[in-house]
Structure 1
């Protein structure tokens, strides 16, 4: 058994059964080993940003690490944006990055680079294996390091991959248990909830489950506290039958208003809220200056155990949680815009769907309008680096092949990782892409105004750098060219009919929804 074979078998035995790949010469022995070792599904992606984004989507829905195979430092560099998103979302990923043979590095060949330095800022753990007999052990350590919510990057030199490993596969890695929340923090949270002060409980991190929502509803009713999710938790269970929890607004000014008067903030899996960007005359910290903040539990702590302890302490176990009723709007008619598209989505979304949200400005209406839709999971862009939505939909569909995946995607962000459509077609994934086509970087127009640059109004050169028409992109042609069925919708009726058809049939499809950009009054 060579190093690559022992590596793959160790990954499979440790529960890492899917590898999203874009290999090169240094990884050929890993690629060859895929035919020698049973159990690893190899998913080819045509750009490394798709590889890393797909691993993110898979890990969120599978609740276990995904793996990637990347080619040297440049391949890892191409993947970094979505590795960043995984790190910010507390999503477990094992990156396998090929490198030159150990004896070849001294010659500084054209593709030689400092892979450890490239990986470091977006990884919790980085290690370069040095011997074939150690690679299986190193792989098991990488899986353990990825655990429930970290990025582990294992560098695989070519000679380590092709060299003989007399030790064979390593013992399967066991993921560490979630850390129990210290009793003194539970007691402090209990005291805060009984204090009578204006208290907000904010939950976020890797996942907000239906059971957590119900426990939070009991706690809120018993204590008078308000409950919010952070703006972009990785995964949220929502819709009819789930607890009614609002999320913190994205815009700093609105978030500050939402938290106004808050005297105490209890954090579960979420960080203390700050503004996404700095703006003139807007505070970076969104909580009031005198607000007491208690980080009760981090993303890798036992949040369920902490909630159970609080429910018991507050004697709230018999309180019925307040759940959202099913509220489906009528199918829309008339003009197609962000609001009518959201109405159609809420009307047609099937039960237990997975919504991957990178709709940017055009998708803003979809989240509140679908609050009473059939129960579903909602995946958010956690690190703010665009080009995540299409790849994450690929990974989510592979992790949950029996569930419909709906990807809300902006036209500008789609072009970062448009190659995802090819993988959707190749793997015949059940993904419907709603492509909001407004021919603008509309979010940047919003940000231009908010920063006050040039008085908030762009000149002709600035406006040109924010518009992505001329020429207009033909997403129907691009999707069809990569094997994905595609249609164009210009009215609410057309969009609703096309979405209904997509929900009724399996397989990849794209709806090019021609919507107007936000009106900014310029």
Structure 2
């Protein structure tokens, strides 16, 4: 039989999908038949990764796409599975990560009129008025498959949306009868005719304008957050920074955007409660690929600063409240824009080399002093393990073959400041705000490049959100060993910090009642041990930490997942 489902799966193969992260249900008999037949006949289709939880499925696809740039597929069960994607769809949407999601739908016949007609009680219960509406606010494209005759066109059109900037998730759905439809002949299509939109450049006139403002600036500054998703863009950013000695500030970074050991790296900022002096002093600011370059309530540029904003989504079309006072906004690819600026600046013969040299010397000293200050913070507090000391110990085991998955939440600033990563492709964050991405993402990263050592840094809250029972069962079955290190401060620290940010001397602060503690403690690493045979270890003393980390790393390099639960001071 050649069905709509067969054509759908062929289209995924044509679109270079390697994996289908699947949580199957009563709406997928035709899909299961097509997959089984392909396996029997040794016909190549994407490999199915069985995912006991949809959140983990989409997080794994998210991680794979971040590492490779190639969108994968997630197949889920009707509206129940769609809803159970939970915060993972928020993460893919806000992180601009391409992925194709397919969900079945309850049969639309009930008396056997078509193959696939209703034969289970849940087919009535799971029939809802607007299944696509669940996803509409989070996807670039959504549609219903109504015939197998054009199913490949729909898949490739959806992929075209997913891969075009700003990238993001897409959603298709199809009722059981449609997916069971037998087709008289094989559906063929030329995938090369469905390429994503070509990247955009800056208008030539504005290239000159920006270049001149940067060359004449006394205190220029570059701010970025996710430029590092493209290694070539990072190289161009380094080139621009070095041409004019422009310091680079990373705001809420979820990639390595600029080498941490570079003299022009001026630091990181997150929910900074005070004014960043380099931001305040800057007279020309170039913002590249950043959703939140600063938080204006307490930290923003000076009123006279000239700001240029370059981004794949420069007006943040899916953010109802967002504005930055920029001279110009440009919808352009950061790599191409930087290439244009570098070429323009290279052609200028009368750059003020003395000013550039003086600025370089100034920020080189600042960079060194900042690094030394962080080193002084990395000593343990007696027997207690501090987040700074833990991160410094993690830094010691990282090499150029390591991928770090970062969902440290309240420890984001600490991890950024003390990990000191210097090459793009070494660190990934979700790019969004729904917790629990880390476990599935680590599996996706390992599937994308099995040669890499994957280390997941997570808070205890985000570890629990990740559905560790599903994560570690999958990691064992599909042989994707990685090391999880839990920054366990025994509660949700972020809500406490948020409360203190608004009510610094309020009743919650006076009574120390924030309703965020996780005591009595669960033995978090044992969840992974029970679910997936992980090597589980807990450490509470600073003098035991280094040996514990190295021990767990050796386990992972030997092919087994390890989880190290590190006890930090309570929230």
Q: 2:345 aligns with which of 302, 308, 314?
A: 314
Give the number of equivalent residue pairs.
509
- CA drift at 1:30: 1.9
User: Aligned partners of 1:424 and 1:317: how far apart in 2?
Assistant: 54
Displacement after TM superposition at 1:459 (Å):
7.2
Quote the residue 2:433 is aligned against: 384
Structure 2 distance, partners of 1:343, 1:116, is 46
Contact 2:535/2:563, CA 8 A, preserved across alignment? yes
Contact between 1:409 and 1:435, CA under 8 Å: does it hold in 2? yes
1:208 and 1:392 mapped to 2: Cα distance?
15
What do you get for the CA RMSD once the two structures are aligned?
Answer: 3.4
1:295/1:475 CA distance change after superposition, 3 Å: same
Query: Could you say which residue in structure 1 is the equivalent of 2:62?
Result: 56
Q: Paired residue for 1:296, among 290, 310, 319?
A: 310
Task: Tell me how far apart the structure 1 counterparts of residues 202 and 337 of structure 2 sit (CA, whole Å).
Answer: 6
Unmatched runs of 5 consecutive residues or more in structure 1: 276-281
8 Å CA contact 2:440, 2:471 repeated in 1? yes
Cα distance in 2 for partners of 1:372, 1:203 equals: 16
**In the alignment, what sits opposite 1:494?**
544
Q: Do 1:242 and 1:375's aligned partners in 2 also have CA atoms closer than 8 Å?
A: no
Q: Per the alignment, do residues 4 and 338 of structure 1 end up closer, same or farther by CA in structure 2, a change over 3 Å counting?
A: same
Verify the 8 A CA contact 2:217 2:283 in the aligned structure 1: no
Q: Does structure 2 retain, via aligned residues, the 8 Å contact 1:218–1:316?
A: no
- Structure 2, unmatched stretches of 5+, are 111-116, 314-330, 350-355
Identify the residue that residue 79 of structure 2 maps to in structure 1.
73
State the match for 1:230 in structure 2: 251
Q: Which residue of 2 aligns with 1:28?
A: 29
Partner of 1:91: 97
How far apart, in 2, do the equivalents of 1:94 and 1:369 lie?
A: 36
The aligned counterpart of 1:428 is 479
2:138 aligned to which of 118, 122, 127: 122
Residue-by-residue CA offset, 1:177-199 (whole Å, 9 max, x unaligned)? 22233323322321221232533
Cα distance in structure 1, aligned partners of 2:5 and 2:375: 53
Which string of whole-angstrom CA distances, capped at 9 and with x for unpartnered residues, describes residues 335-387 of structure 1? 32212211110111132211111112245422221216788611113111111
Question: Distance in 2 between the 1:303 and 1:95 partners?
Answer: 28
TM-score by length of 1: 0.87
Change (3 A) 1:202 1:51: same
Asked if the contact 2:228–2:424 (Cα under 8 Å) also holds between the matched residues in 1, the reply is no
**Is residue 2:88 matched to residue 1:82?**
yes
Instruction: Using the TM superposition, give the Cα deviation of residue 139 of structure 1 relative to its aligned residue in structure 2, in angstroms.
Output: 0.8
CA distance 1:386–1:358, shift in 2 (3 Å): same
- For the 8 Å contact 1:133–1:164, the answer to whether it is kept is no
The answer to whether the Cα contact below 8 Å between 2:268 and 2:413 also exists between their aligned partners in 1 is no
Distance, in Å, in 1 between the alignment partners of 2:266 and 2:178 is: 51
Matched, 1:269 2:289: yes
How many angstroms does 1:442 deviate by? Answer: 1.2
The answer to whether residue 8 in structure 2 is matched with residue 7 in structure 1 is yes
Mapped contact 1:144–1:175 kept (Cα < 8 A): yes
Match of 1:158 in 2: 176
Does the residue aligned with 2:96 lie in a helix, a strand or coil?
Answer: coil
Note if contact 1:214-1:242 (Cα within 8 Å) is conserved in structure 2: no
Cα distance 1:6–1:467, how it changes in 2: closer, same or farther (>3 A)?
same
Residue aligning to 1:478: 527
SS in 1 for 2:308: strand
Instruction: Choose 316-325 or 1-10, whichever is displaced more.
Output: 316-325
The answer (yes or no) to whether the contact 1:353–1:375 under 8 Å persists in 2 is: no
Counterparts of 1:44-443 in structure 2 under 5 Å? Answer: 44-103=50-109, 109-113=124-128, 114-148=130-164, 149-165=167-183, 166-172=185-191, 173-205=194-226, 207-233=228-254, 235-236=255-256, 245-246=265-266, 248-254=268-274, 256-271=276-291, 273-275=293-295, 283=297, 286-298=300-312, 301-315=332-346, 334-362=383-411, 364-371=413-420, 377-417=426-466, 418=468, 419-443=470-494
Q: Which stretch shows the higher mean deviation, 206-215 or 505-514?
A: 206-215
CA shift in 2, pair 1:372/1:387, >3 Å:
closer
Distance verdict in 2 for CA 1:91–1:343, change over 3 Å: same
What is the distance in 2 between the residues matched to 1:13 and 1:371? 40
Conservation of the 8 A alpha-carbon contact between 1:354 and 1:406: yes
Is the partner of 1:494 in helix, strand or coil?
helix
1:445 aligns with 496
